[in-house]
Structure 1
Amino acid sequence: MEPEAPPLQPHTERKGPVGPVPPGMERYYSQTLSWGPCADFATSDEERAAYRDPAIECARLEVPMNHADPGGPTIRLGLLRKPATDPGQRVGSLLVNPGGPGASGMSTVAALAGSAGSTELGQRFDLVGFDPRGIGASEPRVRCLTDQERDADRLDPDSDTSPAGDAQTEQEAQDYAAKCAERTGAEMLANVGTRDVVKDMDVMRSALGDEKLSYLGYSYGTRIGSEYAEEFPRNVRGMVLDGAIDPGQNAIESLVAQGAGFQKAFGDFASWCAQQQNCAVGSDPAQAVKAFQDLTRPLVDRPVPTGGGRELSYSDATTAAIQALYAPDLWEQLNTGLLELDQGRGGMLMALADTYFGRGADGTYSSTMDAFDAVHCVDDERNLDPGVVREADRRYREAAPFLDDGRGPSAARDVCAFWPVPVTGEQTQPVVDGLPPVLVISTTGDPATPYRAGVELAGALHGRLLTFEGTQHTVFLQGTSCVDEAGTRYLVDGELPAEGTRCTG
């Protein structure tokens, strides 16, 4: 057994400015970073345990709240770094974002530190996770609901699609938007989108001392990557974008495609389940949708107890299924949860739903869901026509019948229709003149970011597509040697895999 490395010592670094600096941003691009222990950056019990690792260090980066006003109010972003273990062969920093929007890059790199730290990637790169503005350890955080309000919100399935029911759903959305504005501040909400995150990343690049950015983005993190590539194409060294979002697809088409992706993943789960000794959705995969509906639809009117005074709602049960369909490793838990539900118990499904929502064992929530809404509402077009909303819901139910509660499509507009600040994002094909080749990884059975989106993103960025044949959401650095080797060779040496390369698990 190798001796444990001594803890990293607190220290300060000033490595910037490096590369081009936008006018008025000199002090940000040249700022000093104070690195030290990560304990004070943790926002959950899970992070508190992970951030005790003596091989990682944390710092805060200062950026303008509004990049158009660099002399105005500032905010601070959390950074977590696992330094390269072979400093003599160090390539630079590898910035990592796990997506969401709303997920923590800091906790992602803390989790990767053990497994990837000993690989060539960990030897040659400082692995740097960041919590985007408004998220996790970054200050201030987006906050919309209290923990008690989030629990109550999860109990409401919003299944009444009558005019009166839709009106009530919209009133709840208006109340939610008002709470976000009150508790977060309108100026912060107006500057929390991807447009602003990519500018923050360029400040990071310089402050970390990298003339060119090396980046690994998963899921929504691919949108951050593609927008950075458009904003700063000549500042990019290399990018791995895994689980792509199609930059040219509108919000409705993306939602419907995602519904179809989850339906396909449910079919794969049903086929796996049918081979088990005791399958909650039966031995005939063709009947699995009906079996799932028969188990979950009664929850609309009658939630079931889970212990501790909580009840499993219909929306929590379907959220649990969505959480489990992200990875085959969770299919056993989903089957167990559905078998429990058949017996009138909801503990396992509630645990899966809690994971999705970021609810800890102590009843506190991460800021993930609040941040998800805040970013989505300024990034994407808003659907204000009730007729368009109803048709979109109809199409989604058709694409994902296992998630259809049987109550008919709703015309209730979502929270973004009532958001207190304007949209700042654009959904157009990126223009990336001067961008070096990027690597896009797309999984054939990805439920959340369908395979075709990866094909489209690779084309839009003039990059190389690597196909993984499997049913899961993202794959790089998750133990598939074919994918891991291809991504590592690209990031370390700039060598792209051969055109048409396909990997299997």
Structure 2
Amino acid sequence: MLRKHTVRTIVAVALAPAALLLASCGSAPASETPAKADLSSFYDQELQFESCTDYAVTELQEQAFKNIPSAECARLTVPVDYDHPSEGTTKLAVTRMAARGDAKGSVVVNSGGPGGSGQLQALNAFVGLKDTPITEQYDIVGIDPRGVSASSPAIDCISDKQSDKTGFVFPAGVLQGSWTAEDTEKAASECVKRSGGEKFVAEVGTPNVARDMDVLREVLGDEKLTYIGQSYGTRLGAIYAEMFPSKVRALVLDGAQDPSLQSAERKITQYAGFQRSFDLMADACTKQPDCVLGQDRERALERFHDIVRPLIDKPVTTSSGRPVNYNTAIGAVIGGLYQSTTWPTVQAGIEELTHGKGDALLALSDGFAERGSQGVWSNYLEANVVINCMDEQRRTPEEEEQLRAKIWAKAPFLDPGESVKGARDGCEAMPGKTEITYPYAQNINGLPETLTISITGDPTTPYQGGVTLADTLGGALLTVEGEQHTVAMAGQSPCVNDVVSDYVVDLEVPDKGATCSLK
């Protein structure tokens, strides 16, 4: 989901993250030593760094590259299928900002999603960490994962015009709407047709992304990987650790997904976190004399439903002529819950709905979806959906209906007031299957000390997930008090910066019980 310390969100989709939402995963056993006889041509390649002029595919990236003209870019070639490397390749976009001093190596970053641009995160991290020893002593490197952003082929499931007309809605079980097997088959068919074919789509899961990251490590000349990942990036980092433990130097895992949960359990926990943030936002609102939700806290949820549920049958208009329906509005609200600083914007958007307008919520939605001013969408949301399909456990329609009921019970602000019937797993017709074994990243031998960061008020990767991940990896935990999602690369907390720098540069972890605050 960056762009201004954003929030990764699936705006009208509900396949977490995944999240919009949704911030998702471990991996099947894999050999830690690359099969050099088969993969040596990939591990031995040389990156040809050049100007980043041709690497931006969104307005956000264009502006970020302009702001950091020293950035250099290259394309990494990796096999589509590591078991059959001669059967096709994919090219991944890489961005590097050189260390301000003598480089000791590289720090590879991942922005989450899945579907977030690693290039963009590298640019943001270079700014966020600019006053730390990290950027003094390490190159900052970001890579667009396979299928994402400037990598080729890129995942593509719906045209920009279709997205403008309907919002990005994918058959999924959390938001409003009924789906049929034909709907999910059509959606999967479009993704396959527009995204490089069935074989490529089936190979975009996180275990292959971890293999790509190991190729990148070698090509960058690093004996071991130094990595900072946020949100979904903690899944990627944990899976890399599981597959290549002896190749890990340092892992910073920020906004951690709980490796002990099954896919459905994680979604329920995630949406419960959003409900907590919604309740806090409503509490803050009802203390104001002009709160759109009223001054009676006990009726705030009812008031919210009264405002948003009519959008199911009658979407509101915007100055651009684009509609805002129920799912788009809910997705925008969820996106605004990622950090407390955007709660006033959510409140203003809800207020605007009472006047039959949806411009504020549409702007929130567009921002999180990375839609440019000229109507060009990034592929963040599509990649989020498809990669999660390859990572997560798939469910029957009956299981999806049960999941929808449980999510609406835990997060009633999402409840559209209709039956759970018609919920379907949007991944049911997708090719491929997960390589991830749940729970994942368990009992890893030979892994060095890791650092997990967990925020007490994180809405999409709740605090306890970070506690569990740190314990699972046998690593250190930094607790951060605040109300937002991720912090390690934002540069907003000197306390966090110091802890992360001490670990990345000197491999020093904080004491047990260490705490920073964003308040």
Q: TM-score, normalised by structure 2?
A: 0.89
What pairs with 1:292-441 in structure 2 (closer than 5 Å)?
Answer: 292-384=304-396, 386-430=397-441, 431-441=443-453
Q: Distance in 2 between matches of 1:160 and 1:27?
A: 43
- State the 1:131 CA deviation: 0.4
One-letter amino acid of the counterpart of residue 29, structure 1: Y
Partner of 2:41: 27
Partner of 1:3: none
Query: 1:278-309, CA deviations, whole angstroms, 9 ceiling, x for partnerless residues?
Result: 32222343332122111111111111111222
Partner of 1:107: 120
Partner of 2:508: 495
Choose from 180, 187, 193 the match for 2:191: 180
What pairs with 1:242-261 in structure 2 (closer than 5 Å)?
Answer: 242-261=254-273
Structure 1 residue runs without a partner (length 5+): 1-18
Stretch deviating more after TM superposition (331-340 or 318-327): 331-340
Stretch deviating more after TM superposition (152-161 or 471-480): 152-161
- State the 1:363 CA deviation: 1.4
Choose from 69, 75, 91 the match for 1:54: 69
- State the 1:143 CA deviation: 1.1
In the alignment, is the contact (CA less than 8 A) between 1:319 and 1:356 conserved in 2?
A: no
Query: 1:431-464, CA deviations, whole angstroms, 9 ceiling, x for partnerless residues?
Result: 3200001001111111111111111111111111
Partner of 2:230: 218
- State the 1:223 CA deviation: 0.4
Partner of 1:486: 499
Aligned residues: 480
In the alignment, is the contact (CA less than 8 A) between 1:170 and 1:415 conserved in 2?
A: no
- State the 1:104 CA deviation: 0.3
Q: Distance in 1 between matches of 2:126 and 2:371?
A: 24
What pairs with 1:229-268 in structure 2 (closer than 5 Å)?
Answer: 229-268=241-280
Q: Which has the higher contact order (CA 8 A, sep 6+)?
A: 2
- State the 1:228 CA deviation: 0.2
Q: Distance in 2 between matches of 1:485 and 1:287?
A: 44
SS at match of 1:129: strand
- Taking a change above 3 Å as real, the CA distance of residues 159 and 36 of structure 1, as seen in their structure-2 partners, is closer
Query: 1:290-331, CA deviations, whole angstroms, 9 ceiling, x for partnerless residues?
Result: 221111111111111112221111111111111100111211
Higher Cα radius of gyration: 1
- Taking a change above 3 Å as real, the CA distance of residues 157 and 246 of structure 1, as seen in their structure-2 partners, is closer
- Taking a change above 3 Å as real, the CA distance of residues 58 and 157 of structure 1, as seen in their structure-2 partners, is closer
Stretch deviating more after TM superposition (426-435 or 102-111): 426-435
In the alignment, is the contact (CA less than 8 A) between 1:106 and 1:129 conserved in 2?
A: yes
Partner of 2:141: 128
Q: Distance in 2 between matches of 1:160 and 1:196?
A: 27
One-letter amino acid of the counterpart of residue 374, structure 1: V
User: RMSD value over aligned CA atoms?
Assistant: 2.0
Stretch deviating more after TM superposition (114-123 or 439-448): 114-123
- State the 1:427 CA deviation: 2.0
Partner of 1:453: 465
- Taking a change above 3 Å as real, the CA distance of residues 156 and 489 of structure 1, as seen in their structure-2 partners, is closer
Partner of 1:70: 85
SS at match of 1:77: strand
SS at match of 1:211: coil
Q: TM-score, normalised by structure 1?
A: 0.91
Partner of 1:37: 51
Query: 1:317-353, CA deviations, whole angstroms, 9 ceiling, x for partnerless residues?
Result: 1111111001112112111111111111110001111
Query: 1:47-101, CA deviations, whole angstroms, 9 ceiling, x for partnerless residues?
Result: 11211222211111111111112233111111111111011xx331000001101
